Structure 1
Amino acid sequence: MRHTGQIALVTGGAQGIGQGIVETLHQNGASVAIVDIQKDKAGQVAQKLSTKDAPVIAIEADIMAPEGCKKAIQQVEASLGGLDILVNNAAVARKKEYIGKLAGTDWNDHSKLVLEAAVHLADYATPLLKKSGHGAILNVSSVTALRIAHQQTSWAYHVSKAGLEQLTRYLAVKLGPDNIRVNAVAPGLVNRSEGVKLTDFPENVRIVEQTVPLRRVASASDIGRTVSFLCSDEASYITGQVLTIDGGLGLTETFGTGLALSQALASSD
């Protein structure tokens, strides 16, 4: 129960990785505010998890605008009494029409939600995190901040995540004197918590077994447990770091991996 008595705010916590983070922080004793534009989904998650000793609340706020960020911080303080942990997880939905194209980009949305929202939330949250005495900010990045997946995501997604990692380092230096730590996680392949999962397709399973040394994709709870550690006092001397959570996906040499995959797929036909 490493977060007993602590208060966390998680953006985009109504589903997916965000929900996994909410659940893990709450399992470890934290009271949690879910900030999401999906009011009903956030409310359902909050109702399912909330307890007397560790309430979970849903806050509907559009954090693509500075006013929405300010509202979220003010509301968590009014409802839960403070803030110890800020998790910037909210991200733009991946739209196929932008993938692989340079013109007609979705950069504006990524800039506002991934980068500017993280800045505004950190700014408004700083007084509360400083008062906490062990404040922590955790940004959810992606392995595509350093590697290119141009057939899966737009260039705006890649660049915004790369910017988020540099922002993590900047904030760690700026807020360090206030004893506020700032870190990030960079997930690789993650199964959705609802709807179609990556591993629902046999060919995807075979690819994962050949390309991921741990031979599986991550779950949302895998990400949540790492976030919980980085936001806890167990990581009290860790700041400005980006921890990759990919099961070893980025460790292997590309050509050899591709060759082994080709052979494995050929033998299974």
Structure 2
Amino acid sequence: MGQLKNKKVFITGAEQGIGFHTAKTLIEAGCDIYIHYFSGTEGPEELVALAKSLGQRAEFGYANLTDRDETTQCVNDAAEFLGGIDILINNVGGIIARKWLGEIEPDYWQTVIDVNMTTMLNVTQSALPYLKAASDGASIVNLASLAGRSGGHAGSLSYSMTKGAVLTWTRSLSAELGEFGIRVNAVAPGLILGTRFHNQHTTQASADETVKGIPLGRAGTSEDVARAITFLASEYDGFISGATLDINGGVYRM
């Protein structure tokens, strides 16, 4: 595994949950980091303080990543602060709401696509020149979902579709960017409790029922996912590319 000390990371949506704990783990591994946020600064402020206490560099900035110009500005600010970008973590995404097929309106459909896919396009395009310039190779890690593998629960049709697209995006991008020494991988978490996603959209009864079907007998944590992302991020000079790492306690086996 590559050494992460002094590597330059740009991560999206690191206010809480998986994004927050991934940023924390990367900081503890020695990275300098720029933290994108959309809905609150408490988490990013805590992460910046942690980095500074360890003698590392960290900053945070706001952007609506569905807006191309705001995204480009945020990524450029990150690259200027860090002196480049070696590692990109595309963490932003969400289910928006549970809607069954007959309830899906055009505006909702487009919003789910924009939040889960357009953001990833805007960020990755904006970061590409900096990733290409990384001297030892670069690493992109995209956040997918078990829903993109299995189709998800009822009411998550639109979300599951976009997360399946993230898996294909990852495979295609790895083929396209390999010549530049850029590795592209994804993680596909299953039931990860304690995140805004599940706090808003998963009932306790549903979570309990899902846990019954997990071979390891528990839900996952944000830290479980953060460790996996950190491993893939460290492969900036490695040979893993186009892969998806499933983090679901054994529910989905492939």
Report the 3-state secondary structure (helix = DSSP H, G, I; strand = E; otherwise coil) of the residue aligned with 2:170.
helix
- Consecutive unaligned residues of structure 1, counting only runs of 5 or more, are 253-269
Out of 79-88 and 103-112, give the one that drifted further. 103-112
* Counterpart contact for 2:96–2:112, Cα < 8 Å: no
In structure 2, runs of 5+ residues without a counterpart are: none
Match in the other structure for 2:144: 141
Query: Aligned runs of 1:197-236 on 2, under 5 Å?
Result: 201=204, 204-205=207-208, 208=211, 210-233=212-235, 236=238
Per the TM alignment, residue 196 of structure 1 is displaced from its structure 2 partner at its CA by 4.9
Equivalent pair of 2:95/2:159 in contact (CA under 8 Å): no
What is the total number of aligned residue pairs between the two structures?
249
The alignment's TM-score, normalised by the length of structure 1, stands at 0.83
Give the aligned residue type for 2:88.
L
Residues of 2 paired with 1:201 and 1:99: CA distance? Answer: 20
Q: CA contact under 8 A between 2:187 and 2:229: conserved in structure 1?
A: yes
Check whether the contact 1:229–1:235 (CA below 8 A) recurs between aligned residues. Answer: no
- CA deviation vs aligned residue, 1:39-82 (integer Å, no higher than 9, x gap): 42344333442216322211101110111221121010121211
SS in 1 for 2:3: coil
Cα gap change, 1:207 to 1:91, in 2 (>3 Å)? closer
Secondary structure class of the residue paired with 2:96: coil
Using a 3 Å threshold, how does the CA distance of structure 1 residues 251 and 165 change in structure 2: closer, same or farther? closer
Q: Could you tell me which residue of structure 1 aligns to residue 56 of structure 2?
A: 54
Alignment partners' CA distance in 2, 1:99 and 1:82: 43
Alignment partner of 1:54: what SS?
coil
The 5 A counterparts of 1:84-163 are: 84-96=86-98, 98-105=99-106, 106-132=108-134, 133-153=136-156, 155-163=157-165
Structure 1 residues 215 and 41, CA gap change in structure 2 (3 angstroms): same
User: Aligned AA for 2:8?
Assistant: I
Identify which of structures 1 and 2 has the higher relative contact order when contacts are C-alpha pairs closer than 8 Å and 6+ apart: 2
Question: How far apart are residue 179 of structure 1 and its match?
Answer: 0.1
Larger Rg belongs to:
1
Question: What's the secondary structure of 2:125's corresponding residue?
Answer: helix
CA distance 1:107–1:41, change in 2 (3 Å): farther
Cα gap change, 1:203 to 1:189, in 2 (>3 Å): closer
The structural deviation recorded for 1:242 is 1.1
RMSD: 2.7
Contact 2:151 2:161 in 1 (8 A): no
| Shift >6 Å, 4+ stretches | 197-200
1:119-139 Cα distance to aligned partner (Å, 9 max, x none): 222222122112213211110
Equivalent position of 1:38 in the other structure: 39
| Cα pair 2:137 2:236 within 8 Å, conserved | no
